[in-house]
Amino acid sequence: MPLRRVVFVCVLWVCIALTSLRAEEPRSFSAQGRRGAIASVHPLATQAGLKALRDGGNAVDAAIATAVTLGVVDGHNSGLGGGCFILIRSPEGETIAIDGREMAPGAATADMYLRDGKAVAELSQTGPLAVAVPGAIAAYELAARKCGRKPLSRTLDEAAQLADVGFPIDRVTARNIREHRDEIARFPATAAVLLKANGMPLVEGDRLVQADLAHTYRQLAEQGSAALYRGAIGKQIAAWMAANGGLITEIDLANYVALEREPLVTTYRGHTIVGFPPPSSGGVHVGQILNILKAFDLKELQQRDPALLIHVVAEAMKLAFADRAYWLGDSDFVPVPRGLVDNDYAKQLARRIRLDQVTVVDDHGWPPEWDTRHFKKHTTHIAAVDEQGWWVAITTTVNTSFGSKVIVPGTGLVLNNEMDDFSAQPGMPNAFGLVGSRHNEIAPGKRPLSSMSPTLVLRDGQPVMALGAAGGPKIITQVVLAIIRFIDLELPLEQCLAQPRWHHQWRPDRLYVEQALADSVQQRLREMGHELQVIQAAGITQVVARTADGRFLGVHDPRIPGLAAGLD
């Protein structure tokens, strides 16, 4: 074994040991640094990002290193078998939006999941038909080439070494394996990685070794993304699909390209909000919800009655999600109105909100110039910043836990189930309970609608925060809550992420609230007419920001294990 690899493995085991020790100590959810900061859902991934910064990389390199490492240590959420959206702000003030969203195969049809006239959810959520063409590695490669300083090949090689050596799985991964054991067991290559020889799931503390994934990462390190899209990895995937009733072919893989999009820019109380355009619904509806909330003094509502603040924000969420269900889709295929983020339209919607009771929202609204002015044709988030002035927000996913549950033998890649993010049938809920219209119906080469919402917040033209979240449709509402708590309520970022959250997505007509929300507030919301569903957690958020003294602050969500780190 080369000396550099021996040293790397020794350091890696020290990091793993320290991570295990930290689990017994009081956890800190934030960290500061003079030279940069990074936050993610897994300590080993954050440490990989920090190492990229120490090795002379910038925040783009750090975020990519974190993302590809998450594909090793957090594969139930994300990986190179899935997709991503990347939002980058350069030191010169240029904002770059890279679309690595998955794409429907060429043989996909609008009715592919209908049986006897009804959509069968199982087909779009588990197994070969659920898989869309992965886009993550193409997006990381484009971002590294365009904005990075560190070779992507080295980043992939370091992640491969981690996959080879293995690591003790945490309680979150163990829980996801346990909950999906039966589905995992259906696919021998997946079971071989995630289940024991006797068919029982791995448990917290068990060491997960992924030799096939390490081999795949090394092929990508040597050949670039071509190894997947035009090489041996792609051939393995296409052959397995042909033998198991899937649709993805070598041609589909060869046709995939990561796209640069025009960032979506809105404003909120003296701040500029930069979001991701369609096929993300996040940028549109984060902007739309904030536009609606401009009509209200949120701090005064919070001081008068915390339930009033929750009520008003939930009503704004509901109105926006009603529009999402009808208007949103891949803007390369369908017309998505720019009027959804029009301030006058937001004022019109805001007038529908009553302070004393819920508003019945039967249908979507009609934004101005809806027919003429359009946008151009389970999940995790990484946030990173550095002293050079690079700010990065990456949201990446395989959709639900372990995606389609498929690992193609020999690849180690968990393949996504993003086909479920299309509307299999108008009005039919997907795995997250979201409904959609024909704007989001399946078509060859089309990218499914996503809630991923990487977001940058600027003040006086300078970035002050990069954030994003995981949690399906709750991504959008979590990002909104972090922004209004930061701007309107003027809370420290740690409190912005730690306080109880809520979520409304129009259908079902139900207000989701975290169980930490005070019983008295819950009762007031019921009195206003809200049907409540109490949940343990409304997703996971990661943030980096600039402090008043010019340092950088990283904050990870306290709801699960993770790590924020700063570099001095």
- Residues near 166 by beta carbon (within 8 Å), at least 6 away in sequence: 207, 208, 209, 210
SS3 92: coil
Helix H, strand E, coil C: the string for 413-462 is CECCCHHHHCCCCCCCCCCCCCCCCHHHCCCCCCCCCECCCCEEEEECCE
Q: Residue 60 in contact with residue 113, Cβ under 8 Å?
A: no
| Structure tokens that stand for 285 in this block | 């509806």
Q: Residue 399 in contact with residue 75, Cβ under 8 Å?
A: no
Phi and psi at 200, nearest 5°, equal -80, 150
- Of 249, 379, 396, 411, catalytic: 379
Query: What span, in angstroms and rounded, lies between the C-alpha atoms of 392 and 59?
Result: 7
Taking phi over 0 as left and psi of -120 to 50 as alpha, with beta for the rest, 289 belongs to alpha
Find where tokens 């957690």 sit. Answer: 537
Cα dihedral angle (253, 257, 258, 261), rounded to 10 degrees? Answer: -140
Residues in the chain: 568
Query: What span, in angstroms and rounded, lies between the C-alpha atoms of 147 and 59?
Result: 9
Find where tokens 């989001």 sit. Answer: 440
Tally of CB atoms within 10 A around 216: 28
Cα dihedral angle (346, 352, 356, 361), rounded to 10 degrees? Answer: -110
Check if 397 is active-site.
no
Find where tokens 């479920």 sit. Answer: 420
Q: Residue 372 in contact with residue 356, Cβ under 8 Å?
A: no
Query: What span, in angstroms and rounded, lies between the C-alpha atoms of 58 and 35?
Result: 10
Query: What span, in angstroms and rounded, lies between the C-alpha atoms of 488 and 421?
Result: 33
Amino acid occupying residue 82 = G
Query: What span, in angstroms and rounded, lies between the C-alpha atoms of 114 and 98?
Result: 33
DSSP for 29-70 reads -EEEESSEEEEES-HHHHHHHHHHHHTT--HHHHHHHHHHHH
Query: What span, in angstroms and rounded, lies between the C-alpha atoms of 514 and 525?
Result: 13
Cα–Cα separations (whole angstroms), residue 227 to 22, 67, 230: 38, 19, 6
Query: What span, in angstroms and rounded, lies between the C-alpha atoms of 543 and 497?
Result: 9
| Structure tokens that stand for 379 in this block | 């999940």
SS3 96: strand
Q: Where are the alpha helices (DSSP H) in 224-281?
A: 226-229, 232-244, 250-254
Q: Which of 228, 388, 332, 316 is nearest to 324 (CA)?
A: 316
> Which residues are the active-site residues?
379
